[in-house]
């Protein structure tokens, strides 16, 4: 069974203007050290990430024509935050015939 072919059969009749794509990412604000030591005249390097500071999560939805919805939050995405995004930001901006692609 070819899942990709089955998927394209399901979506081939949907107008591209009606497709809405969701994506989410997190940004660590304190990933680099602010201070380091090295020998005089040399640069300090560190291969280990330094997780100090907060995390910001960004979730959004786009179509061919516009940004449909966007939400940022401090911390990580969870089920409650995702439901809030869908209910308060995404659904009010959808139109008749819009299809969410995840």
Structural domains for the chain: 15-101 (3.30.420.10)
Q: What's the pLDDT score for residue 75? A: 92
Length of the chain as a residue count: 102
19 burial via Cβ count (<10 Å: 0-12, 13-18, 19+): middle
CB 37, CB 45: distance < 8 Å:
no
Prediction pTM value: 0.75
More confident residue, 80 or 48: 80
Which percentage of the chain shows pLDDT scores above 70? Answer: 95
Q: What's the pLDDT score for residue 61? A: 98
Q: Taking residues 32-41, what's their average pLDDT?
A: 82
CB 57, CB 26: distance < 8 Å:
yes
Q: What's the pLDDT score for residue 95? A: 97
């Amino acid at each position: 069974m070819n899942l990709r072919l089955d998927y394209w059969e399901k979506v081939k009749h949907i107008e591209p203007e009606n497709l809405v794509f969701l994506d989410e990412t997190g940004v660590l604000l304190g990933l680099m050290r602010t201070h380091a030591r090295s020998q005089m005249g040399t640069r300090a390097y560190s291969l280990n990430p330094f997780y100090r500071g907060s995390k910001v999560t960004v979730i959004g939805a786009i179509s061919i024509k516009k940004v449909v919805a966007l939400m940022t939050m401090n911390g990580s995405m969870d089920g409650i935050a995702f439901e809030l995004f869908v209910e308060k930001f995404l659904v009010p901006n959808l139109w008749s015939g819009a299809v969410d692609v995840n």
